[in-house]
Amino acid sequence: MAQEISALVFDAYGTLFDVHSVTRLADTLFPGRGAALSAAWRTKQLEYTWLRSLMDRYEDFNRVTAASLDWSLEHLGLEADEAARRALVAEYRTLAVFPEVPAALDAMARQRPLAILSNGHPEMLEAVVEHNKLRNLFRGGVLSVHAAKVFKPHPSVYALAENRLGVPRSLTGFVSSNGWDAAGARTFGFQVFWVNRGKAPVERLGVRPDAVISNLSELAELLKQ
């Protein structure tokens, strides 16, 4: 590392929790179309966070998630009643954690405070953290953009973590599997670890992550050195 790291901040969706674990329920409701629905839904969900932020029309992530599901269902020609739509949105409260995450977090939490910084509505976030029994690992807090009323990668979101942790951004490690989130955090001034789970190309947004890893076990190893 270029500098010591006094705290670690993690993105939630896609980094700790697998957003595509909704595919199973989606596939039960719409046999053979679950993966397509999950992919369209996630893409549109992110688009809406960026667009609403730019239009200065923040709406919480639970609503954005429901709205983007509605668009995706219509886009794919799938019909769902209110109960099915509610069940799909509720899946965000019980998303599966990636398999290596609990042990890796446990190792890292012994060395420095860990926090979550996420687009999620505070209740959605608390629910998925509780569901996966990770709450006691995040001494630094489970922080939501909801306090800033704008989504990532707006700089005021990353400032929430700096203010809450009381650790200068240059001594804070930020961990995300979303390349655009990694770029936003790097622009803000965090030391950034991009978890490139899907071997994606690096985003061309004018900054590069400080390190690229393929999962959180690799990060735990790297930070031991």
Pull the structure tokens for residue 192. 């950034």
Could you tell me which residues are beta bridge partners of residue 176? Answer: 194
Longest dimension (CA), the chain: 53
Pull the structure tokens for residue 130. 């509780």
Q: What is the enclosing helix (H) or strand (E) of 52?
A: helix 34-54
Nearer to its own copies, 117 or 134 (CB): 117
Nearer to its own copies, 78 or 127 (CB): 78
Report the nearest approach of its own copies to the CB of residue 4 (Å): 26
Nearer to its own copies, 120 or 153 (CB): 153
- For the chain, how many residues are written? 225
Q: Give the span between the Cα atoms of 127 and 146, in whole angstroms.
A: 15
Nearer to its own copies, 156 or 163 (CB): 156
Report the nearest approach of its own copies to the CB of residue 132 (Å): 29
Positions that interact with its own copies (CB under 8 A): 47-48, 50-57, 59, 67-68, 70-71, 74-75, 151-155, 180, 183-184, 187, 200-201, 203-206
Q: Can 11 be counted among the known catalytic residues?
A: yes
Nearer to its own copies, 36 or 71 (CB): 71
Report yes or no: 102 and 129 within 8 Å, Cβ to Cβ: no
Report yes or no: 104 and 219 within 8 Å, Cβ to Cβ: yes
Report the nearest approach of its own copies to the CB of residue 135 (Å): 30
Catalytic residue among 11, 18, 60, 181: 11
Q: Is 46 exposed, middle or buried (0-12, 13-18, 19+ CB in 10 A)?
A: buried
Report the nearest approach of its own copies to the CB of residue 164 (Å): 21
Write the CB contacts of 203 (distance below 8 Å, at least 6 apart in sequence).
179, 180, 182, 183
Instruction: Tell me how far the alpha carbon of residue 146 is from its chain's centroid.
Output: 14
Pull the structure tokens for residue 142. 């489970």
Phi, psi of 100, rounded to the nearest 5 degrees: -85, -10
Q: Which residues are catalytic?
A: 11
